[in-house]
Amino acid sequence: MFVCAVALLCLVSVSHSAPLSCEDLLRPLDQLNPHHLKGRWALVAGSLSDPAYLERFKRRNSTSIDFSSFSNATSSVSYTPSVDAGGKCHYHTHNVSVEGSVFTFDVREQVNLTVTFLRTSCPDCLVMRYDNESKKVERLLLFSRRRELEQKEMEEVNAQMECLSMPPPAIMDPNKELCPEQSVSDSAAAQT
């Protein structure tokens, strides 16, 4: 019985013969450096578990996020997604706290998502996994300082999505402009 199970496992891993196992592909970063996050990142590709929401997501012109830190002494950073959809830019600034490879939203924000940064071989990318309250993956988003990545880098994130049984991702059009960065006064207004 035991031998049988082992043989089966071997067959499965041989037939997939991928360079990395899902366990490796879905490993979180050991430690996220909040300073590394600072600045702007463009969404390159993303998948959502909910196919209906993925369809709407595909119609976005562009998405980016800006991270900034309040001071070096704390692990709180602000997280501002900018979405160009429906003919205009939408901004939402959230305070989040970073611990290890995970960030969580301030309880007052009523956003019950946990975001984990996964390891990636791409040096200027962020692979962010958003889990809901039941710890089920809702989205996996690939951001980069670049608008377009090498095929090898795309294959890695596609494999990560497959490991999570997510649908094929939306690939963002690198030629569509990102929303302008919010000015300081805009973001102060958004936080009130």
Task: Say if CB 41 and CB 143 are below 8 A apart.
Answer: yes
Residues of the shown chain interacting with ligand NAG in the complex, contacts defined by CB under 6 A:
35, 49, 59, 61, 70, 72, 84-87, 95, 106, 110, 112, 132-134, 136, 191
Question: Please, what is the minimum distance in Å from the beta carbon of residue 62 to ligand NAG?
Answer: 8
Q: Are strands 62-69 and 39-48 parallel, antiparallel or unpaired?
A: antiparallel
d(CA 50, CA 92): 22
Q: Is 38 helix (H, G, I), strand (E, B) or coil?
A: coil
Question: Please, what is the minimum distance in Å from the beta carbon of residue 126 to ligand NAG?
Answer: 18
80, exposed or middle or buried, with CB in 10 Å at 0-12, 13-18, 19+?
A: buried
Judged by beta carbon, residue 15 or residue 71, the one nearer ligand NAG is 71
Question: Please, what is the minimum distance in Å from the beta carbon of residue 15 to ligand NAG?
Answer: 28
Question: Please, what is the minimum distance in Å from the beta carbon of residue 117 to ligand NAG?
Answer: 18
85, exposed or middle or buried, with CB in 10 Å at 0-12, 13-18, 19+?
A: middle
Judged by beta carbon, residue 84 or residue 153, the one nearer ligand NAG is 84
Judged by beta carbon, residue 61 or residue 158, the one nearer ligand NAG is 61
Judged by beta carbon, residue 36 or residue 155, the one nearer ligand NAG is 36
Q: For tokens 């880098």, what's the residue? A: 153
